[in-house]
Chains A and B, each alone.
Chain A
Amino acid sequence: MSPDAPLQQTRVLTARWETPGADRLPGYLATGGYAALKKALAMTPDDIIGMVKEAGLRGRGGAGFPTGLKWSFIPKDRRPSYIVCNADEGEPGTFKDRELIERDPHQLIEGMAIAAYAIGCTEMYVFMRGEFSYPARVMERAIAEAYEGGFLGKNICGSGYDLDFVIHRGAGAYICGEETALLEAIEGRRGQPRLRPPFPATHGLFASPTVVNNVETFTCVPHIVNNGPDWFKTLGTEKSAGTKIFSISGDVERPGNYEVPFGTSARDLIEGFAGGVKGGKRLKAFTPGGASSTAIFGADKLDVALDWESVQAAGSLLGTGAVIVFAEDVCMVRTALRFTQFYAHESCGKCTPCREGTYWLVNALQRFEDGGGREEELEILPRVAGNILGRTFCALGDFATAPVASTVDLFADEYRAHIEKKGCPFER
């Protein structure tokens, strides 16, 4: 970033956020809404899938799986099939899906409807986290408007194609963001991940072929249909096409969602868009992808480009693009403890390493905070984490190890300061 260059967001998914009334149907239509759906309904489903593949769209829920490829896995000879939107946003530090729903709910409906037509499904579900009370009301209103306007229901846009939409609310379980756990929750069960294979593409919701995509992923679709895959590829990097909404929070002057092309540096986001570390303090650390970043980054990683490949090459994961910033006076042991408590609370209990391991890690970290930490634990902690990593059904277990492993690695001196002082030497 040159110091004089004004920073501009690249508003694609968030283009309507500044337009009053665009969250309602008339405002949405006035800003080009549902044009992509009409265009898509005149195309063949295979052409739409081809277009999404060509654009290089990858899932925005954390894994970055190619979306068009996912859609193409749906067998054409088995019906019903289902489109399910994962709106169970719960990753600490992430708040992009909430704002996408609150400010532009029709964009999500349109993206899902195009996906539904592409895979030949007539019933879509959005699984929305229970705590999203206000976003759910906005969504419900938008769905009612879409039915009223002929964009949902029988014979949508006069195409002869029928499409229904059901909102299903979660009830307070982060694990339901894992797609098979999410499907279990819609089926009225405990949200515990399923054994794969079979994958949701063949045996998903109600044992039928199912596509599960994140909110942000679906919202990219109308823009790809409207502007074409080549345009989409001009944004971002070669392997991470398009824009990404980064949620920036923690110790920054201007926390918020910022939409920029993939590959924008963490420095531009933190020091530029978010106004730098709050109160003029120095930066100690940040997460490139929320609590589930496999490694927390120190200040030396500020110039890492935030796209899937670059973040991975730097030793972490981009995840959902949640950048939580920690100033120089933050205790990283306490931070690791609070993140690990999160995973201990959200572990579904299915796999022993995750269920027991997170419990043990929380106890050990709490001991450090309370003054009972011991030097040998700096070796034991990563070992326990290593016994969870890769030994669980789903990725939650892997993510649960990151805060501990990463802080012991980067901030061992802070752990030692806890041992020496027999307690936490930090204020916050």
Chain B
Amino acid sequence: MTQGSCRDTSEMGPRRNPVAVPPLSDEFYENAKKLIARYPQGRARSALLPLLYLVQSEHGFVSPEGQRAIAEILGLSHAEVAAVSTFYTMFKRTPQGKWLISVCTQPACSLAGAKEIVARLQERLGIANGETTDNGMISLEEVECLCVCDGAPVVAVNYENYEKIAVEEAVDLVVRLMQGEAPPPASRGDVPPDFAAVNRRMSGLEAPR
């Protein structure tokens, strides 16, 4: 955070120590141009959500530095960028772990034991929802419906779903994640190797066109 700047809206909420982040890579700026080019002439602002994902892929969260860079690229005020980044729950305001674990606790999943899964994972990891383990491996969150209710209860790791997962299976999964490996979900998909990779995908860089 720039010294002496007025209140940085991206840091709303409990006061946290600023996190030191490396400068954004040259690749970031090149990719930003590519993402902007996907939208019609004069509509660069449409790339704002993709660019926020791109910042997350570099810094593990929507860092104030990254948001300022986006503001500059798109010709927006920092407040405008922060207003958007704070609106969407998938833009994280603190650095996330290698694995982001999301447990759905909407009724279909809760009826199938999701609350117990949350409690056991919190206990096993020693963290509350929204926190990250000290070794930087795992972040945990409780989320709204992931639209996989036929697979309830659902635990997502970096947004890939483990369906009909029993409490003990969830605990075992976390143990393996702590060791650095993510077994592929039984139903479909592969877990991206880390939070950075999933955010890169999310930005749309790998999409056709």
Contacts and interface: CB of A to CB of B under 8 A. Distances in A.
A169 B50 contact: yes
B107 A171 contact: no
Given A90-B147, A133-B159, A342-B106, A190 B87 contact: yes
B208 A147 contact: yes
B83 interface: yes
B89 A249 contact: no
A89 B145 CA distance: 9
A324 B87 contact: no
B46 A187 contact: yes
B111 A173 contact: no
B149 A95 contact: yes
A255 B152 contact: yes
Interface in A240-264: 247-251, 255-257
A428 to B, nearest CB: 6
Contact of B88 (A90, A166, A171, A326): A171
B144 interface: yes
A131 interface: yes
Contact of B149 (A80, A97, A255): A255
A127 to B, nearest CB: 10
Given A168-B204, A187-B46, A98 B147 contact: yes
B84 A92 contact: no
Given A93-B108, A134-B161, A324-B107, A166 B150 contact: no
Contact of A166 (B74, B84, B192, B209): B209
A335 interface: yes
Size class of the contact patch on chain B: 35 or more
A264 to B, nearest CB: 18
A90 B144 contact: yes
Given A247-B149, A339-B107, 14 more contacts: A80-B40, A90-B145, A98-B148, A102-B188, A132-B147, A133-B202, A136-B201, A140-B206, A140-B208, A164-B209, A165-B208, A249-B108, A250-B107, A338-B107
B111 A330 contact: yes
A170 interface: yes
A315 interface: no
B40 to A, nearest CB: 7
Interface residues of A, number: 65
Contacts of A190: 83-84, 87
10 contacts: A92-B145, A133-B158, A134-B161, A137-B189, A171-B89, A171-B90, A250-B107, A255-B108, A342-B144, A348-B87
A249 B207 contact: no
A324 B161 contact: no
**From A92, A136, A140, residue with most partner B Cβ within 10 Å:** A92
Interface of B: 38-40, 43, 45-50, 52-53, 74, 83-84, 87-91, 102, 105-108, 110-111, 143-150, 152, 156, 158-161, 188-189, 192, 198, 201-204, 206-209
A130 B198 CA distance: 10
Interface of A: 80, 89-95, 97-98, 102, 123, 129-134, 136-137, 140, 143-144, 147, 164-174, 185-191, 206, 247-251, 255-257, 291, 322, 324, 326-327, 330, 335, 338-339, 342, 345-346, 348, 428
Given A102-B188, A172-B89, A95 B202 contact: no
A361 to B, nearest CB: 16
B18 to A, nearest CB: 23
Q: Which 8 A-B pairs have the closest CB atoms?
A: A188-B48, A249-B149, A171-B88, A172-B89, A172-B90, A188-B45, A133-B159, A134-B189
Given A166-B38, A249-B149, A324 B108 contact: yes
Contacts of A338: 105-107, 110
A130 B90 contact: yes
Contacts of A346: 144
A249 B161 CA distance: 17
Contacts of A186: 46
B75 to A, nearest CB: 12
Contacts of B203: 169
A344 B203 CA distance: 27
Contacts of B207: 140, 143, 166-167
A330 B206 CA distance: 44
B156 to A, nearest CB: 7
B200 to A, nearest CB: 12
A173 B147 CA distance: 13
A348 B84 CA distance: 12
Nearest to B91: A171
Contacts of A169: 49-50, 53, 202-204
B87 A173 contact: yes
B107 A94 contact: no
B88 A249 contact: no
Nearest to A142: B208
A159 B90 CA distance: 41
A327 B149 CA distance: 16
Contacts of A251: 111
